[in-house]
A = this chain, B = another copy of it.
Amino acid sequence: MRKHDFIRDGDGWQTLGEEIHYENPHVTLATHTLLTPTRQDPRQPAKWVVAHRKAAVVVAPQTAEGDFLLVRQERIPVRASLWEFPAGQIDEDKVGLENTAVIEETVRRELREETGYELPDDARGELVALGMFFTSQGFTDEHNYLYLARGVVRSARGSEHGEHEAITDCRAFSLQELRQMIAAGELRDANTLSLYARLVARGLVEP
Task: Give A51 to B78 CA distance when docked, in angstroms.
Answer: 10
Binding site for B on A (CB under 8 A): 7-9, 13, 21-22, 24, 26-27, 29, 32, 34, 36-39, 46, 48-51, 53, 74-82, 84, 131-143, 166, 168, 179-180, 182-185, 188-190, 193-194, 196-198, 200-203, 207
What's the number of copies of this chain in the assembled complex?
Answer: 2
Query: Could you say which residues of chain B place their CB within 8 Å of the CB of A166?
Result: 36-39
Residues of B within 8 A of A75 (CB): 134, 137-138
User: In the complex the two chains form, is A201's CB within 8 Å of B188's CB?
Assistant: no
- 16 further A-B pairs in the complex, CB-CB below 8 A; given A48-B76, A53-B136, A193-B198: A9-B79, A21-B22, A21-B29, A27-B51, A29-B51, A36-B76, A37-B166, A38-B74, A75-B138, A77-B140, A131-B188, A135-B135, A135-B190, A196-B200, A196-B201, A197-B200
Candidates B26, B182, B193; contact of A49 at CB < 8 Å: B26
* CB nearest to A8 among chain B residues: B79
